Structures are given as C-alpha cells and as structure tokens.
Structure 1
Amino acid sequence: MRLLRYTLYRLLQAIPVLIGVTLITFVLANLAPGDPVRFMLHGQEVDEELIRTVERRYGLDRPLHERYLVYMGGVLQGDFGHSIHRNRPVLDLMLARIGPTLLLVVSAYAFALATAIPLGILAAKRRNQPEDHVSRIVALVGVSTPSFWIGIMLILLFAVTLGWLPSSGLVYPWWPPETYGHSGYGEHALETVRHLLLPMIALGTLQMATLMRVERTQMINSLQGEYVKLARAYGVPERTILRKHAFRAAQLPIITIVGLNLSTALGGAVLIEYVFNINGMGRLFLEAIQQLDYQLIMGITIVIGTMFVVGVIITDISYAYIDPRVTYGEEE
C-alpha cells in the first residue's frame, strides 16, 4: 500500500477506538454520583417540575443508550451539544480554550526535544564519565517527580523568591500587543516567553527525562554497531560518524515515544494549567467533571482522544523518513 492508502487505513482503524473511548466516557460520566440539574440549580428554589423541564431541555430524561446515540449523531454533524452549566455550545467553549493547551503542550515538547537529544548524545559519547552520571541523575529525578510538584517548586524559586518570572497566566502570541498594553511585538514576544517558561519546563521535564534515557541507550547501541566500527576503520572522523551514522539510526524509538507520550503530556497539562492558573482545555475538563457537565465532558474527551490518535498516526508515517525499511505493508 502506498502512503496515502496506509494513512486512510490507519484513520479507519481509529474510528472504533474513538467510539470505544466515547462510549466508556459517556457511561462513566452518567454513572457518577450526583444530579447535574440539581447542581446547576443549586441555591435556587427548586421544584420537581422545574427539574423535569431542564432535563427535557437537555435530553436527560431519555434512556442512557438513546442519549448516547442521539449525541453521537449530533457529533457526526459537528454538533457537540450545549454545556449544561454555561448554556453555551460546547464547540465554542473548546475552541476558546484549546489554544492555550496546544501552546503549552507544543512548547513542552520543544523544550524536551531540544534538551533531551543533545544531553542523550553527550551522555552516550562520554559513557561512564561525569557527564554521563549527571545526565542519568537528571533523568531519574525527572521521571520520578510529579509535574505539578516541579511547577510549584519553580514558582517558589523563580516567581516568589527571585521574582524573575510570573507565576500564573499566559500571554497569547496570537492576540495583538495592545490587548496586554505592550508597546510592540518585541515586548509582546518577550512577555509570552516569560509567562510560558515555567509551565513549559514543569510539563516538559518528564518528557525530557524519558527521551534522554532512550536517546542515550540508542546512541550507545548505534556507536557499538558494526557499521560504525567499519567507518572508524576507514578513518571517518568521529564527528561525522556521530552525525551521519549513529544519530539517524537512533531516532526511530524517539519518534515512537514522542507519539505515544502525547497522552501523558495532555494529561499532565490538566494539572499544570491548575497550578499556573492557565485557562486551557485541561482546566475546563476538570471544571466539567466537578459540575457533572456531561456534554462538555464528552466533547473534550473526543477532542483529546482524536489528538492522541492523530499523533500516533503521524508517528507511524514519520517512520518512513527515518527508516527506509518501512514499506507500509507493501510486498517485497
């Protein structure tokens, strides 16, 4: 199969996965204790007739299986329903919040890749030397420490104690500088980086530590390969061996981890957004759970599940650019 046919095939495979995710989420959300209508009307004088009216408005009086089928029918038409507590279309709420989450996740991955790959290469090149020992300690601490705790420690050090960086919020680069009272795009970009730096490091530390360990291991294996020994025997410079021979062969597992760890990053963004007071989709998801906002829970679940599936598919396709042996099911 060619690349396009393989991509379509993987997209078709993703359909039952997403249906399973939505079905499990829908059932669990509706089995959670509490009544969303009574929660929404809290503080008001409530009678049973008003509750029945609100339930009919949002379709909560229907059987569970019927509600699920009606909801999925609307999703196929681009309608994610209305939020029970905000009385706004779920799609509008998600579009307003997805930007900060994507900015946070992408910047965290950029930080992880920019630090993990050089450190992993350095550790492999200087195996069992002080640089290697330091990198392994950093990796161990990174994978063992919760991201929210790292975020709190960063706030205490750089925001509270030193006062160098802000402790909450984001400056959105897609908004004009005048929105924040900035004098120009230079100041606007600087403030964007200053606000993004701490949450980016907090979220990206786990990814960085994981990638660095894998990069080190793969580079060590590559540097011990027969083709590297042959290149050295022919007098190829060590820098060339490292860059052209060992490095490329070591990147396939890195691509795999980047794709599969997308769910971890999205999950970590939920806590990081709360720690740094960022109005992203992760925070919106927690608020929806606390308020038993079924429509909003389902909408965010579908979006996050789709992002993860698409990330895995992109990872599969990226293999061809690293490993020419990948044929996407074509016969040899």
Structure 2
Amino acid sequence: MGLLKYTIYRLLQAIPVLIGISIITFVLANLAPGDPVRLMLQGQQVDEELVRAIEQRYGLDQPLHVRYWNYMTGLVQGDLGYSIHRDRPVSDLMVERAGPTLLLVVSAYVFAIVTAIPLGIIAAKRRNKPTDHVSRIVALVGVSTPSFWIGIMLIIIFAVQLGWLPSAGLVYPWQPPEAAGYDNHLQLWAATIEHLLLPMIALGTLQMATLMRVERTQMIDSLQQEYVKLARAYGVPERTILRKHAFRSAQLPIITIIGLNLSTALGGAVLIETVFAINGMGRLFIEAIQQLDYQLIMGITMVLGAIFVIGVVITDISYAYIDPRVTYGERE
C-alpha cells in the first residue's frame, strides 16, 4: 500500500470517529439543563411569541433527531450553522478566534520540544547523577500538576508579586503596530512575547514533562545498544555517537507523543485562555457552554476533533517515513 492509499485509508477510518463525536456532543449539549433562548433574553421581558419565533428560526422546536440530521446535512456541505446568541455564522466566529489559539498552542509546543529534547538527552547521558534526578523531579511535577494551576501560580509570582510580565490579554503580532499602540514591529513583537510567555509556559509544561521522560528513556535504551558499544570501541567521539547513532532512533516515540498530545494541548488551551483572558477558541468554547449555544459548541468540537484526527494521520505517516521498518499498512 502506497503513501496516498494509506492516507486515504486512515482518513476513511476517521469518519466513524467524527460521527461518534458529533452524536455524543450533540446529545450532551441538548440534554443540558436550561433554555438557550431564555438565556439569550435574560434581563428582558420574556414574550412567549418571541421565544417561539426564535426557536423556529434556529430549528429548536423540532425533535432532537431531526435537528441532528439537519445539522449533519449542513456540516457535510461546509455549513457549521449560526450562533444563537451572536446571530452570526459559527465559521466566522471561529476564524476570528483561531489566531490566538494557534499562536498559543504552537508556541507551547515549540517551548516543550526545545526544552524537553535537550534535557532528556542530558539526563540520559548523566544517568543516576544529580542532573538526572533533578530532571526526573521536574518531569514528575510537570506531569502531575494541572496547567491552569501552573498558570495561576505564574500570574501570582511573575505578574502580581514581581510585576515582570503581564497577567492577561495577548498582543497579536499580525496586527499593524499603530493599531496596538506601538511605534514599530519590533516593539509589537516584544510585547507579544511578554504577553505570551506565561501562558506558553503554563500550557507547554505538561507537554515538556511528557516529552522529556520519553526522550530520556529512549536515549538510555539507544545508548545501550550493541552498535553504540561498537562505535565506542572504534573510538568514535561521544558527541558523534549521540548525534548520529543514538538520537535518530530515539525520536520515533517522540513523534507519536507529539501527535497524540495535540488533543491535550487543545484541551489545555481552553483553561489557559480563561485564566489569562485570551480571546481564543478555548474561551469562545467556554462562553458557548455557558450560553448553551448548541451550534457553536458543535462547530468548535467538530473542528477540534478533525484537527486531532488529521494530526494522528500525519503522525502515522511521519512514523512510517522515518522508520523504514514500518510499512504503510502492508502485510508480510
């Protein structure tokens, strides 16, 4: 099976998963207590005729299975529906909020990879020494601590107590400097880094800790292989052994972890955006749940689910590409 056929095969396998996600999310959202129309009209004098008119406009007066069928029919055609509370297309709202979330998740992943891989290699090279013990403690704390708690602690220490970094909001590097109140792009980018640093660390700590533990374990295993011992016997420099012989084979599980942890990062972004008051898709999702905005809940869930599925497929393909022993679904 070639690369193209394998990719199509994996994407077809993802269709039942996405259908299952849609059914579970749709049922849970619609069974939640409360009335989205009355929540929208909260604080106003409720007119029953107005309530029925709004329900008819958004199809809320129809049976649950009919509403689900109508939603899936529109979804197949690329229509994510209309937000009940905002009276705007869900796709437009998500596009507006996607930039901050992507910036946060990508920066957290970069932070995790850049820190975890070198620390994992150093810990493996200095196994059972103080450096290794410290790295294992850091990894254990990172895996065990919720990201939102780390975010709160970072705000208390670096924003409230020390006053070094801002505690809320995000400066977008793609906007004109004048619109954000800065003189040039250099000041804009510096402000972006200042606002992004704390949420990036809060979200990336779990990913960093997970990757570092796997990197350490795989490097220890690679350094104990016979070909590494043979290279040392021939007098190959240790740096060359680490870079050319042990490092590449140790990265195969790392690729899998990076792809599978995408859902963890996206889920963590929901809480981190709330803690740091970042107007991204995660915060939009929280607002949609509070307002029982069914179409918005479904739209965000389906898009994030599709992103995760695509990430898993890319991970599988990358794994087979790097390791020649892995084939694209072929049987011996």
Contact residue 83 and residue 293 of structure 1 kept, 8 A: yes
Structure 1 Cα separation of the partners of residues 331 and 235 of structure 2: 38
Q: Which residue identity lines up with residue 83 of structure 1 in the other structure?
A: S
- Unpaired runs of 5+ residues, structure 2, are none
Counterpart position of 1:305: 305
CA distance in 1, matches of 2:232, 2:291: 64
Are 1:251 and 1:322, in contact at CA under 8 Å, matched by a contact in 2? no
TM (norm. structure 1) is 0.98
Residue in structure 2 matched with residue 54 of structure 1 by the alignment:
54
Amino acid at match of 2:257: I
TM-fit CA distance, 1:331? 5.1
SS of alignment partner, residue 66 of structure 1: helix
Q: Which amino acid aligns with 2:110?
A: A
- Which position in structure 1 is the counterpart of 2:18? 18
The yes-or-no answer on 1:270 pairing with 2:270 is yes
2:247 paired with 1:247: yes
Partner residue, 2:236: 236
Deviation of residue 25 (structure 1)?
A: 0.2
Cross-structure match for 2:285: 285
Question: How many residue pairs end up in the alignment?
Answer: 332
SS at match of 2:88: coil
- 1:1-332 pair list within 5 angstroms: 1-330=1-330
Q: Which moved more, 1:119-128 or 1:184-193?
A: 184-193
Shift of 1:158: 1.3
Cα offsets for 1:244-285 (capped at 9, x unmatched): 111111111111111111111111111100111000000100
Deviation of the 1:12 alpha carbon: 1.0
C-alpha separation in 2, matches of 1:293 and 1:273: 19
Contact 1:80-1:90 at 8 Å conserved across structures: yes
**Contact map agreement 1:117 1:215 (CA 8 A) in 2:** yes
- Secondary structure class of the residue paired with 2:80: coil
Q: 1:331, 1:253 → 2: CA distance?
A: 22
Share of identical aligned residues, percent? 80
1-side partners of 2:207 and 2:134: how far apart?
A: 17
Matching residue's letter, 2:39: F
Give, in angstroms, the shift of residue 320 of structure 1: 3.0
Residue identity opposite 1:45 in structure 2: Q
SS of 1:45's equivalent in the other structure is coil
Q: Which residue identity does 1:256 align to in structure 2? A: T
Offset of 1:223 from its aligned partner? Answer: 0.4
Q: Aligned partner of 2:6: which letter?
A: Y
Please list the CA deviations of residues 17-58 of structure 1 after superposition, one character each: whole Å capped at 9, or x if unmatched: 111101110011011111111111112222322221111000
Question: Is the contact between residue 228 and residue 241 of structure 1 (CA under 8 Å) also seen in structure 2?
Answer: yes
1:184 Cα deviation after fit: 1.0
Letter in 2 for 1:43: G
Runs of 4+ in 1 over 4 A off after TM superposition: none
Write the distance in 2 (CA, Å) between the matches of 1:323 and 1:158: 43
